[in-house]
Copies of this chain bind each other. A is one copy, B any other.
Amino acid sequence: MRLSVTTHRKREVIDLTPLLSEQLPSGNGVLHIFTQHTQAAVALADLDPGTDVDLLDALDNLIPKLQWRHPHNPSHTPDHLLASLTGPSLGVPFEQEQFLLGTWQRIILIEFDGPRDRQIILTPLPGLAK
């Protein structure tokens, strides 16, 4: 299953939870979520007002300030590095068409070089029948 999500800023956190919840099949298993980009990531986060900016600020400050070799555009290197480090994929368990998320857990897309249309591949993996 493929979804497209439009981002609006250079860096942005988008809550995917409502959109992905609609795609859950019956049965139980794990929804595998994968974004097809090297400047975006999928993660879980606590989302309260301002925490999205906290996350983006922290990530920005995480990457050391070095001379980059990236041939196309060295200024994009931190975007690629953060995508590799945070990771493009995540598995979230579900049961009876509902995610088994904790109270504060939200599934997020992190955009590192928007605005863009970002492609997401969803693969429901069935749990072992008992």
Q: Which residue of B lies closest to A66 (CB)?
A: B57
Q: Which residue of B lies closest to A94 (CB)?
A: B123
Q: How far is the CB of A114 from chain B (nearest CB, A)?
A: 15
Chain B residues within 8 Å of A80, by CB: 45-46, 51, 54
Chain B residues within 8 Å of A101, by CB: 36
- Docked pose: A85 CA to B103 CA in angstroms: 19
Whether a CB of chain B sits under 8 angstroms from the CB of A3 is: no
0/1 string, A119-130, CB within 8 A of B gives 1: 101011111100
- Docked pose: A65 CA to B127 CA in angstroms: 41
- Main SS of chain A's interface residues? mixed
Among B45, B69, B123, point to the contact of A84 (Cβ < 8 A).
Answer: B45
Interface stretch (choices A4-12, A14-22, A23-31): A23-31
Instruction: Assess the B54–A77 pair: CB atoms within 8 A.
Output: yes
Considering the complex of A and B, which 5 residue pairs feature the smallest CB-CB distances, nearest first? A50-B69, A36-B102, A61-B64, A38-B46, A124-B128
List 13 A–B pairs whose Cβ atoms lie within 8 Å, in order of A's numbering: A25-B128, A34-B93, A36-B102, A44-B83, A45-B84, A54-B68, A57-B66, A62-B64, A88-B105, A89-B92, A93-B123, A100-B121, A126-B126
